[in-house]
């Protein structure tokens, strides 16, 4: 026992793996999986969970969260955020760098890491950010252990400027050199401003006007540029929060050509459509916007086929007041890390997605993209004992009281979902039961590890 | 203990899985894997193997063998063939139907099964064959448990005629209905005859003339027709022994379009090139022929990328006399099941292929294609305990004395290869050690099982 | 005056050329165009036509007619057929070779030429035919002056067998060598037989059953094979009577790849759809069949874009009795040469097609494909003085009395069409006025000429 | 005789038309072609030219010239520029708008037109320019008769800023509305600056460093953006001075998809390669740069196939001093309008291009792109009598003395070329003979005319 984690034997459950379902016990010793099998002996293991009739998945990795600390803690903080994660079956979060100050140097990185680690209820990795004036810090951030970088093609919370094309080219060369993934917010900012001004000056102020202020060409232009740059440099381009059919088609073509280009989408693009603006108003305002039904259909197809290989929640909490302003002033995004697995589990149990896709999209692929595999993201001997145990036969209702968010504002309040997260286990220790966090903050910072391909 | 198989604990080895290498023990009880883990307890297990420093792979499935029994036993027989398989790390063979009589009815199927089962040293599945005059027997052969069907686009050993296009269409509809794979010898017979006659009448009789008698268009025309038919019917087309770049490109496009089309190639296409005709002469005559280097390069690329998803040996023994005739009369094909894994292992250990590709190409995907997964083809709880244990640090030399073939005639005699097959384990029982078969014929016939997608 | 043709000055008309409309006079001297301009002087020209308010087009070339002589004159004969051509604005016909005996040798070619020339009211070229047993006659037929060859992928009137793939390959090599066009009836005969037997045995006997007996795959398989063979050999493949969207897409891709592949369609595929079977019954039976509306839409698009570059009438007269049999016995095809231009002119004047496309599709491109350009197919100095003068502001009705066919049986009887063919001029001599033939048989046989590319 | 132009009869020449060569006389009366034919009568025509043994082409249109007036006349002026045009067989020039002041309003347009018309030795059209601050002037410039617009994706002579993406989108909508062509200098300015700074700071100062400062990605990124914008808006994008294979491939794909995208290249990209920097130094500095041989090969292929449909000279005179500075300060571009036809004629007579491509690329297509067809760009009845008569059997040498440029600085000085421009005829009047301008300035301003498609 070295103190890496706990011991637990999960018995009688059905493992949900990318390659299929299989009934087996899982033994975790000192935080690491040491055996998978039938009738494993429990000698010397204090904690046993009877998972009969339950599904056992690898712990969920949410590759895309904005926990808001430091600097924006009026929106939410890391303690709440990682408690929400634990309650929702997420055992690792990858935290975005657009906090205040932004994570744009080794110093800022180390300070954020030191600030957050004592508050972490789940394991976490940190992104760096690159813009024109800190491009030289790329290497030191890689060496500091950043899981990847976030690049904003347009300004964002925290006012991080977008890089010029020359800088973009150089950081993609660096990405290729280190094999490190760059996560792109791919919207052409000049076009966004243009169309926003056009629609706004036409007098529109209904929630759906936000959709028309960001037509598909904004995403498409940014994505096709990134694909070209990846082709020329070998850099690893990961397009996050994909929302549109045209983007999916560009991605599909890039994959077909063998480029290092991957894509992420989020539950809200798969579950909501433009028809919902009339119901949820600015609560569902998010960037890029939720679009018409045919875009959703294309995203589902891409997810099922593996063209989009990863999901993220884009957890982005704001205060209720910020969300309830009129459309042009309302903040974009909403809390998501706690409902991430429940929403997707519900979709799978309703038949929209094979269950086996959940560990692929929400554990294994994020771990691979951000240099944590096979330590994280899989149920195999020697991997971290991160597990989530789910009851597929019960139901749950999302309610404000059950959310750990400081401001529990999301369009999904009141939704009844199939499936219940029963246990969340982090490195062999139970950290949440039935949606309630148990025990102290045991989360650790996780570095990107280099894996030869 | 129900008699399904043996008990064995393999300790300390490195598992070679499609998803990576992992150090773990494997426990097999009554023929079935019951645990994978570190430090598994050996209670009640009589047989233990110390696999320290060794690689442990799922047993190899050779999806493409012609064991020649019944009817052609002067070439070889099932006893020899399955002993060769066991010695070479192959735990399941899928036997082609062009024996005498051909397997073209339920009656022929049952008779062949009954004839072979007592002689089997490894597990085996049986293909049926369809041509114009037995197309109505498709359903009864599926119900008899055929793993799939072989369709010859041109006549073959045993004089099975190729189906007309109308029949082809109907059996692809059946393939779609049952989800059963059709393995195609894809060469346009009329073109083969034409070019053969042309080159033959030009006076050529050197071994390489065989290559020029079957130019790429022969394969290409057949493959593009099959792809069109699959597109129209949904039928499962598996192109076996792919030899040419153009075929690979058609396959890649079909996969891109989401069609049910897959491809196999064989070690000889990956290891030999047209430059070798001067060295091996008609010994390396095979259909389709081994082609120029750029075709080999394209095949390797396709194998690495997953465009070609399976390997088969195309084990096709002949007498030495048949192989040594002049080029136009020499028999095509040669013994291959025993050298199947050793040749590919050598390639992997020399860096031509990631080791993890071996279980994917030679176990998991063949099992999936022919309805045996996850009973066969994978190391997971509940699967059959079929294992092969390999020493990556020793070398072996292929010699006539070590081959179990009645006529040990192959171009690979004398080749020194990296890696040695140490143990072959069939359902928990050791059936070969260091290339020597041990024990009796324990092989069983394996039926195709229906797996919901 | 050498006797090549007549003198005529056509004044005041609007020339309809592929590159646009232009008002100009045309002067023909001794059968050849010698000037195009405004206010041309009429010195020494006896015949003048005032074409004010009329359209002047190059004489139409019908690249696809079956005049039935010799051997099938109970259906129709060359005298009637070429009178019908003249009356309908067609100044050159290309006669198919499947008469009795078929045109499969130089001897048969010379005999047909000698038989037809005295009976010709318009100029004519002759196709040869190639099948397995006369492939050696390819060269002598080229040297005899055949405009091209017709290849039947399935048997046809006159029972010409389809060539084996080996023969096909060899004649495409010859096509490439001579630059001679091969016109293909592209239907997979084995599939046609299969589907016909299937639908027929289901008890169907309504006219539309013919459509279901020849599903698109029949055409598609044949076309994709021909494209592959053209790619490998450089041979010139012209797919005649294209009827289906899928074929158009294959053609589009082949053109994009720069292959020597071209396509023809016919007025009936552009004007009728499957909805018309209930109205016209077996009168509209033709091979390939008239298909559903979306195929028609795809054909129009291809014609407008130039993907399909030529039109032919597929003039194929039968007796009324032959057409009125039940669907499985009724003859396929109908008389078409006389209605060819009127039907397409009507479509153009209704806005379905730019007028300028008519000379491109029905004169210039057929002349280029079959080695007669720029002698035929264009209005330019030095070209044959073949003109057709049309009144765009009158209308005409197709009636049995006005057709020159022995058996005036066509679905278009009674149709009222925009536009009237006023004059047909062959090498400077007026050969028809207002739909009535004037003067004697002045037609000449036309040889294919070699044009360097 | 209305004063539109002169009368001339050109006899006995060979017309070089896009559709072929044909021997015929051409009669021009009052500036307009009134007859084309053999043995045309010369009644009432004072001027006759014997063109026996000569080639007669439509007058060349140079769609891409910078004549430098007003504001930059120290480089050159309109009088010299249009004399050079006349001497070189060019009868119409399209003048770029980046003079001082730039042509960015109706007022500037009218002033430039009034300034230039008295000085014009050939006919001319004027481009407007659009950037962020004058986008509202688009309509008034169209109504003023601009032939098209030039859009600079990066700053240029005269410091015209490049438009933001929002403006770009809006002007492409306008382009679609009016059917007006936008000519794009397609280089990503940010990337150009980045790579220039990188290579410059590496210490390079040899002429070829200019090539490395503008790698292909600069063009490629700009072109793919423009194609996307054209796809979304229907706007007419004409990519001028294409220099790279990758751009050609994007263009080819856009054309295949049926988009309104066209391309131009220039003689220097077709004739020079990167190997020539050692010979010509900064004399051949131009933007985009002349690139490696494989780019030249791709451009020739595109020109022959019609993927690139137009040529322009990119005539851009500078003083000798400006050209002879060190690489980072030397001006880009050189005088080109007088050598435009001679260089391309030489290429054609050496077999690099069919002669018939010259009128297509250098007359007909430019006229169509910029709204002047069929008044300009073709030899047909009713078109302007603009002709150039060429002797294919003589040779000429480019020399400083024979160039009309103020500063006759070009890499082509001293080149011996096949073919000599004998006569240039503008609307029926001879304006140059044997490379010498005759008579006064008769050029007229030409408006864009609207042609329905």
Interchain CB distance below 8 Å, D19 and C305: no
pLDDT for A10-45, tens place per residue? Answer: 999 999 988 789 899 999 999 999 999 988 987 778
pLDDT band, residue B262 (cuts 50/70/90) = very high
Distance spanning both ends of chain B, measured CA to CA: 32
Instruction: Tell me which chain A residues have a C-beta less than 8 angstroms from the C-beta of B27.
Output: 37
Asked if C1 is an interface residue toward chain D (Cβ–Cβ < 8 A), one would say no
Report pLDDT for B42. 73
Report pLDDT for A216. 97
Whether C158 has a pLDDT exceeding 60, the answer reads no
Asked if C220 is an interface residue toward chain B (Cβ–Cβ < 8 A), one would say yes
Look at strands D148-152 and D123-129 and give their pairing.
parallel
The C-alpha atoms of residue D353 and residue C375 are separated, in whole angstroms, by 24
The C-alpha atoms of residue C436 and residue C423 are separated, in whole angstroms, by 9
D86 vs B17 pLDDT, higher one: D86
Q: What percent of chain D has pLDDT over 70?
A: 98
Whether D118 has a pLDDT exceeding 50, the answer reads yes
Interchain CB distance below 8 Å, A217 and D169: yes
Report pLDDT for C450. 57
* Average per-residue pLDDT for chain B: 94
Chain B touches chain A, with at least 3 Cβ pairs below 8 Å, answer yes
Whether C402 has a pLDDT exceeding 90, the answer reads yes
Name the pTM for this structure. Answer: 0.86
Asked if D22 is an interface residue toward chain C (Cβ–Cβ < 8 A), one would say yes
The C-alpha atoms of residue A211 and residue A188 are separated, in whole angstroms, by 15
**CB within 8 A of A196, min separation 6: which ones?**
A213, A214, A328
Mean pLDDT along residues D109-114: 98
Q: Chain D closest CA to C37's CA: distance in Å? A: 3
Mean pLDDT along residues B214-235: 97
Report pLDDT for B113. 98
In order of their start, the domains of chain A are 59-369 (3.20.20.140)
Whether B451 has a pLDDT exceeding 70, the answer reads no
pLDDT band, residue A161 (cuts 50/70/90) = confident
Report pLDDT for D20. 83
pLDDT for C164-186, tens place per residue? Answer: 999 999 999 999 999 999 999 99
CA neighbor of C284 nearest in space, from C207, C381, C383, C199? C207
pLDDT for A64-82, tens place per residue? Answer: 999 999 999 999 999 999 9
pLDDT for A201-239, tens place per residue? Answer: 999 999 999 999 999 999 999 999 999 999 999 999 999
- Helices B216-233 and C216-233 pack at an angle, to 10 degrees, of 160
In the block, which residue shows the tokens 């010793």? Answer: A29
Q: State how far the alpha carbon of B308 is from the alpha carbons of B95, B263, B296, B361, C183, in Å.
A: 21, 5, 13, 9, 37
Asked if D451 is an interface residue toward chain C (Cβ–Cβ < 8 A), one would say no
By the 8 A CB rule, do D269 and D257 touch?
Answer: no
By the 8 A CB rule, do B9 and B48 touch?
Answer: yes
Mean pLDDT along residues B53-76: 97
Whether B56 has a pLDDT exceeding 80, the answer reads yes
φ, ψ for residue B224 (rounded to 5)?
Answer: -65, -30
**CB within 8 A of C306, min separation 6: which ones?**
C360
A223: which strand partners?
Answer: none
Report pLDDT for D104. 95
pLDDT for D302-355, tens place per residue? Answer: 999 899 999 999 999 999 999 999 999 999 999 999 999 999 999 999 999 999
Asked if A24 is an interface residue toward chain B (Cβ–Cβ < 8 A), one would say yes
The C-alpha atoms of residue D317 and residue D323 are separated, in whole angstroms, by 9
Whether A453 has a pLDDT exceeding 50, the answer reads no
User: How many Cβ atoms sit within 10 Å of the Cβ of residue D71?
Assistant: 15
- Helices D216-233 and A216-233 pack at an angle, to 10 degrees, of 160
Listing DSSP states for D371-384 in one string gives T-TTTSSS-STTSB
Q: What is the ipTM of this complex?
A: 0.91
Interchain CB distance below 8 Å, D20 and C374: yes
* Average per-residue pLDDT for chain A: 94
SS3 string, A332-386, reads CCECCCCCHHHHHHHHHHCCCCCCCHHHHHHHHHHHHHCCCCCCCCCCCCCCECC
H/E run at residue A35: strand A32-37
Asked whether the CA dihedral B278, B283, B284, B287 is positive or negative, the reply is positive
The C-alpha atoms of residue B366 and residue B142 are separated, in whole angstroms, by 18
Residue in chain B nearest A355 by alpha carbon: B453
Q: What percent of chain C has pLDDT over 90?
A: 91
D23: which strand partners?
Answer: D14
Instruction: Tell me which chain D residues have a C-beta less than 8 angstroms from the C-beta of A194.
Output: 164-167, 169-170
Report the residue from C165, C166, C221 with minimal CB separation from B228: C221
Whether C87 has a pLDDT exceeding 80, the answer reads yes
Mean pLDDT along residues D394-402: 97
Mean pLDDT along residues B144-157: 87
Report pLDDT for C155. 67
Instruction: Tell me which chain D residues have a C-beta less than 8 angstroms from the C-beta of A200.
Output: none
pLDDT for D10-46, tens place per residue? Answer: 999 999 988 788 899 999 999 999 999 988 887 778 8
- CB neighbour class for C401 (10 Å; exposed up to 12, middle 13-18, buried from 19): exposed
CA neighbor of C86 nearest in space, from C427, C451, C424, C430? C424
Report pLDDT for B1. 44
Asked if B229 is an interface residue toward chain C (Cβ–Cβ < 8 A), one would say yes
Whether C20 has a pLDDT exceeding 90, the answer reads no
The C-alpha atoms of residue B321 and residue B316 are separated, in whole angstroms, by 14
Asked if A45 is an interface residue toward chain B (Cβ–Cβ < 8 A), one would say no
User: How many Cβ atoms sit within 10 Å of the Cβ of residue B118?
Assistant: 11
Instruction: Tell me which chain B residues have a C-beta less than 8 angstroms from the C-beta of C190.
Output: 164-166
Q: What percent of chain A has pLDDT over 90?
A: 91
H/E run at residue C264: strand C261-265
φ, ψ for residue A50 (rounded to 5)?
Answer: -90, 110
Chain D touches chain B, with at least 3 Cβ pairs below 8 Å, answer no
Report pLDDT for A188. 95
- CB neighbour class for A351 (10 Å; exposed up to 12, middle 13-18, buried from 19): exposed
Residue in chain C nearest B219 by alpha carbon: C228
Interchain CB distance below 8 Å, C24 and D381: yes
**CB within 8 A of D330, min separation 6: which ones?**
D282, D285, D322, D323, D324
Instruction: Tell me which chain C residues have a C-beta less than 8 angstroms from the C-beta of B170.
Output: 194
Token pair of C74 as six digits: 């109970």
The C-alpha atoms of residue C339 and residue C358 are separated, in whole angstroms, by 14
Asked if D39 is an interface residue toward chain C (Cβ–Cβ < 8 A), one would say yes
The C-alpha atoms of residue C55 and residue C390 are separated, in whole angstroms, by 5
| A40-44, A59-63, C231-235, D183-187: segment of lowest average pLDDT | A40-44
Residue in chain C nearest D380 by alpha carbon: C22
Report pLDDT for A151. 96
Q: What is the dihedral of CA C226, C227, C233, C238, to 10 degrees?
A: 70
Alpha carbon A131 to chain centroid, angstroms: 22
Mean pLDDT along residues D181-196: 96
Instruction: Tell me which chain D residues have a C-beta less than 8 angstroms from the C-beta of C38.
Output: 34-35, 381-382
Report pLDDT for D258. 83
CA neighbor of C209 nearest in space, from C130, C274, C134? C274
Whether B158 has a pLDDT exceeding 60, the answer reads no
∠A290-A293-A294 over CA atoms, to 5°?
Answer: 110
By the 8 A CB rule, do B227 and B258 touch?
Answer: no
Q: Hey, of B131, B154, B169, B223, which one would you mutate to test binding to chain C, going by the most C CBs within 10 A of its CB?
A: B169
pLDDT band, residue B160 (cuts 50/70/90) = confident
Asked if C245 is an interface residue toward chain B (Cβ–Cβ < 8 A), one would say no
Interchain CB distance below 8 Å, D169 and A194: yes
Q: Chain D closest CA to C305's CA: distance in Å? A: 9
D37: which strand partners?
Answer: C35, D25
Whether A159 has a pLDDT exceeding 80, the answer reads no
The C-alpha atoms of residue B257 and residue B254 are separated, in whole angstroms, by 5
């Amino acid at each position: 026992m070295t103190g890496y984690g706990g011991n637990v034997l999960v018995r009688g459950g059905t493992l949900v793996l990318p390659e299929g379902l299989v009934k087996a016990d899982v033994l975790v010793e000192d935080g690491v999986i040491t055996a998978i099998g039938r009738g494993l002996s429990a000698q010397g293991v204090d904690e046993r969970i009877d998972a009969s009739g339950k599904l056992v998945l690898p712990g969920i990795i949410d590759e895309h969260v904005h926990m808001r600390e430091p600097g924006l803690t009026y929106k939410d903080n890391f303690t709440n955020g990682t408690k929400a994660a634990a309650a929702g079956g997420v055992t690792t979060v990858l935290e975005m760098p657009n906090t205040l100050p932004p994570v744009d140097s080794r110093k800022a990185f180390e300070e954020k890491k030191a600030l957050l680690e004592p508050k972490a209820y789940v394991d976490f990795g940190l992104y760096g950010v690159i813009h024109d004036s800190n491009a030289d810090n790329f290497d030191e951030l890689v060496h500091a252990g950043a899981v990847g970088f976030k690049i904003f093609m347009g300004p964002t919370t925290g006012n991080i400027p977008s890089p010029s094309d020359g800088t973009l080219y150089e950081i993609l060369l660096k990405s290729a050199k280190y094999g490190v993934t760059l996560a792109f917010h791919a919207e052409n900012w000049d076009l966004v401003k243009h169309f926003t001004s056009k629609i706004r000056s036409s007098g529109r102020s209904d929630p759906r006007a936000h959709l028309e202020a960001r037509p598909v060409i904004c995403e498409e232009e940014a994505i096709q540029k990134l694909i070209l740059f990846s082709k020329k440099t070998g850099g690893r381009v990961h397009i996050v929060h994909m929302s549109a059919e045209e983007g999916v088609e560009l991605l599909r073509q890039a994959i077909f050509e063998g480029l290092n280009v991957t894509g992420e989408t989020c539950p809200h693009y798969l579950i909501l459509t433009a028809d919902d603006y009339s119901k949820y108003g600015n609560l569902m305002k998010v960037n890029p916007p939720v679009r018409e039904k045919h875009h959703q259909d294309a995203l589902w197809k891409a997810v099922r086929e593996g063209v989009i290989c990863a999901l993220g929640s884009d957890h982005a909490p704001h205060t209720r007041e910020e969300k309830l302003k009129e459309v042009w002033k309302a903040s974009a995004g909403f809390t998501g890390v706690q409902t991430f697995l429940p929403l997707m589990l519900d979709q799978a149990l309703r038949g929209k997605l094979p269950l086996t896709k959940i560990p692929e999209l929400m554990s294994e692929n994020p771990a691979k993209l951000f240099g944590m595999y096979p330590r994280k993201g899989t149920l195999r001997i020697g991997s971290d004992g991160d597990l989530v145990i789910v009851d597929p036969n019960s139901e749950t209702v999302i309610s404000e009281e059950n959310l750990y968010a400081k401001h529990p504002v999301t369009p999904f309040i009141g939704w009844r979902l199939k499936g219940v997260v029963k246990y969340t286990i982090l490195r062999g220790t139970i950290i949440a039961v039935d949606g309630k966090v148990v025990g102290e903050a045991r989360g650790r910072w996780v570095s990107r590890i280099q894996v030869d391909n």
